[in-house]
A and B are shown apart, each in its own frame.
Chain A
């Protein structure tokens, strides 16, 4: 069982002074699994993402990714270990082209030295051509290749979401953290997004950990769901189990009289 565990949170706590944003959370995630993190606003979902990506360091507890204790790594090193994320409010490099956005995701694979990359010929040029070709393949896979020379800010909103996911994939990460990928999408775009996420799981064999409020999406694609409320884990299980869990219903709808 330990073999295919990709991510494990052990008693993770994050405290800001007396406030515990995340309180002794335990759960683990298997390779090639879609795990959803749900809970009311302010439950500590995005804080959990920020802990995993190294933006915050846990006050107590451990986060293990592929056998590495993440405490020792800086955010950019964590990306290089194989975790990539998208953001609740899209964070593309707006004034750079779609292609440049993808090339940046592959930055850590480029080994060219500073001076060679200044020259318009030789190894620097060869490497740029290679990485451009690879980036276009990613864009073709995501059906975004026709926009490659457009500035990212000029893409329609739905396409910006897709580009952000494509950019996360281009980092080569095995684990994608998606923070509310369906926010701001209309129902048909959300259905498309579900297909995209299924494809990422089945074809690219990635593991997906997502925060989402859209229950149709969460129930439709998750293998398992973790529910947070006031920084504590109140439930974990399959979509079916979560749907019928009294604690979850109470957290979302309040206690009946």
Chain B
């Protein structure tokens, strides 16, 4: 295998792990099926790129800003939407994903002094990605999520996944917990988005549509919902497949589908999952 391909897989897997860990918090831990995770990746990617390119903000600050902005948008969007249950919630997040994409298509930003439409791909984003940086952030995200799940807050989130009504009857403010979980999950998507933009250096709103959300969900489902080891495995496998099978050109996406179908038939809880999530 060419060394470039391996490098590419490592970086992209790392970035996707951070993003899917966020989705796991929302869907695997809290039990709220989100089909709009890509929207927060997009928000993170654009906010950090625009901050760097039009205001000259340093990369580190742009990363933190992307994390916070995506988290805030997630929280604000979550307040009205998290009243919905199950499929209704999923459809609302799907709608949100499209709304964000369309807004981005129609927005303008001042890049290097000249106004530019975002519907054209935003290119020449400064490249700041290295393996150590991605590795450090992945380790941070994994440790954070492990501890979060074991904390008082995480236990309450898992109880919401198991039975919302019973959870409320235990005195848990489920609305507040759901919004916070959605905000934190979105923040990690934003962080991943900022890293992604800086790695591939050119982004367009159509990179973050509904299909992207589904891809992220597939990574989570393959590894096993609610399992952090599963997130790492599922994400790495589904990130690697299209890269490794480049020689098979168009047929590689078939392989992707076949892997998912085999999984669902033989291990519906995912490679490392041991819980059912009824959404």
Knowing A76-B174, A96-B159, A104-B155, the reply to whether A119 touches B169 (Cβ < 8 A) is no
Stretch at the interface among B75-83, B87-95, B160-168, B230-238: B160-168
In the assembled complex, the Cα of A53 lies from the Cα of B56 at a distance in Å of 55
Among residues 88 to 133 in chain A, which have CB atoms less than 8 Å away from a CB atom of chain B? 91-96, 100, 103-105, 107-108, 110, 112, 114, 117-120, 124, 128
Closest to A124 in B: B151
B144 contacts the other chain (CB 8 A): yes
Number of A positions contacting B (CB below 8 A): 34
B147 contacts the other chain (CB 8 A): yes
Q: Which residues of B contact A96 (CB under 8 A)?
A: 155, 158-159, 162
Knowing A79-B171, A118-B147, the reply to whether A95 touches B162 (Cβ < 8 A) is yes
Q: Say how far B162's CB is from chain A's closest CB, in angstroms.
A: 4
Q: Which residues of A contact B166 (CB under 8 A)?
A: 87, 91-93
Q: Which residues of A contact B155 (CB under 8 A)?
A: 96, 100, 103-104, 107
Q: Residue among A74, A96, A124 with the most chain B CB within 10 A?
A: A96
Closest to B176 in A: A76
B130 contacts the other chain (CB 8 A): no
Q: Which residues of A contact B152 (CB under 8 A)?
A: 107, 110, 112, 117, 124, 128
Q: Which residues of A contact B174 (CB under 8 A)?
A: 76
B172 contacts the other chain (CB 8 A): yes
In the assembled complex, the Cα of A119 lies from the Cα of B148 at a distance in Å of 9
Knowing A112-B152, A117-B152, the reply to whether A76 touches B162 (Cβ < 8 A) is no
Q: Say how far B179's CB is from chain A's closest CB, in angstroms.
A: 14
Q: Say how far B242's CB is from chain A's closest CB, in angstroms.
A: 33
Q: Which residues of A contact B147 (CB under 8 A)?
A: 118-120
B275 contacts the other chain (CB 8 A): yes
Q: B169, A84: Cβ atoms under 8 Å?
A: yes
Q: Which residues of B contact A107 (CB under 8 A)?
A: 152, 155-156, 170-172
Q: Which residues of A contact B159 (CB under 8 A)?
A: 93, 96, 104
In the assembled complex, the Cα of A110 lies from the Cα of B144 at a distance in Å of 21
Q: Residue among A91, A92, A118, A120 with the most chain B CB within 10 A?
A: A118
Q: Say how far A168's CB is from chain B's closest CB, in angstroms.
A: 8
A45 contacts the other chain (CB 8 A): no
Known: A87-B165, A100-B155, A167-B170. 7 other contacts (CB 8 A): A75-B169, A76-B169, A76-B172, A76-B173, A95-B275, A114-B153, A118-B147
A-B contact pairs, 29 of them (CB 8 A): A53-B169, A74-B173, A75-B168, A75-B169, A76-B170, A76-B171, A76-B173, A77-B171, A79-B168, A79-B170, A80-B171, A87-B165, A91-B163, A91-B166, A91-B169, A92-B162, A93-B159, A93-B166, A94-B163, A96-B155, A96-B158, A100-B155, A100-B158, A107-B171, A108-B171, A117-B153, A118-B144, A119-B147, A171-B170
